[in-house]
């Protein structure tokens, strides 16, 4: 069965500092990996996704993520956090024969200090 | 462009009352459709998904049901709500992949349901 673990429930960083959100997955085949962001009371929005090719993927809002097969990880990074990045972040995994389904992690809440 | 609508945005219902939440998608055809529930401070739990009209798969046993009467309409229902049905309900759609592959999901704004 596939699963996603986001080890950090809550992270606080200062504005302008760098950010890394961790994601570990379990999937029996080649994974499709996603990061989504959710602002309070809103739906989720895709930040970036990895299907194949270059293991470092760029997304919107200055985010990037690196797929490391050997570590079963897909960590999200941003070099300089802005106050508007405060939100909840979800990692998700799917695959090429998955009836279109994704499995989501429990999320990491990001707080940005001024 | 594609858009996804959910209504109502918020709902307060007494225990034992019925429920109907609606989700519609515009600007695409033959989408995969999904219902998720998000409990306070928790991740997303997939409740139902659908790959076509009248085709519903349930992911977890529960007090809820789903229907897809039209290609771009997805309805979540209950005959009698429980306290544990409270939460934030999200509808999502994705392009139906050639081999059933996973792709980006596009989420609606959600419905906040409180059962008292």
pLDDT in tens, B8-36: 999 999 999 999 999 999 999 889 999 99
| Pair B32, B95: CB distance under 8 Å | yes
pLDDT in tens, A29-69: 888 999 999 998 889 999 999 988 889 999 999 999 999 99
In this structure, what is the dihedral angle of CA atoms A53, A59, A62, A64, given to the nearest 10 degrees? -40
Give the pairing type, strands B111-115 and B87-94.
antiparallel
B43 touches chain A (CB under 8 A): yes
- How far is C-alpha B7 from the chain's CA centre? 11
Mutate to test the interface with B, among A37, A100, A106 (most CBs of B within 10 A): A100
Cis peptide before A70 (omega within 30 of 0): no
Residue of B nearest to A98 (CA): B101
The dihedral region occupied by B3, where left means phi > 0, alpha psi between -120 and 50, and beta the remainder, is beta
Q: Which residue of B has its CA nearest to A109?
A: B41
Residue A84 per-residue DSSP state? G
């Amino acid at each position: 069965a596939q699963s996603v673990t986001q080890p950090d429930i809550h992270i606080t960083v200062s504005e302008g500092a760098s950010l890394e959100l961790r994601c570990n997955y379990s999937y029996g085949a080649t994974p499709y990996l996603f990061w989504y962001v959710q602002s309070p009371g809103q739906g989720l929005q895709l930040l970036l996704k990895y299907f194949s090719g270059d293991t470092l993927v760029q997304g919107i809002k200055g985010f990037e993520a690196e797929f490391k097969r050997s570590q079963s990880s897909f960590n999200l990074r941003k070099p300089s956090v802005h106050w508007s990045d405060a939100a909840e972040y979800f990692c998700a995994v799917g695959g090429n024969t998955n009836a279109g389904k994704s499995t989501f992690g429990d999320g990491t809440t990001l707080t940005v200090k001024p | 462009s594609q858009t996804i609508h959910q209504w109502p945005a918020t709902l307060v219902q007494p225990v034992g009352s019925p429920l109907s939440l609606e989700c519609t998608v515009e600007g695409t055809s033959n989408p995969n459709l999904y219902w998720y529930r998000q409990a306070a401070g928790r991740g997303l739990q997939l409740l139902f998904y659908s790959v076509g009209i009248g085709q519903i798969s349930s992911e977890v046993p529960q007090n809820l049901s789903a229907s897809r009467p039209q290609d771009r309409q997805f309805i979540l229902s209950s005959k009698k709500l429980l306290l544990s049905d409270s939460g934030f309900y999200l509808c999502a759609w994705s392009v139906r992949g050639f081999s059933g592959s996973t792709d980006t999901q596009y989420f609606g704004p959600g419905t906040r349901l409180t059962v008292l």
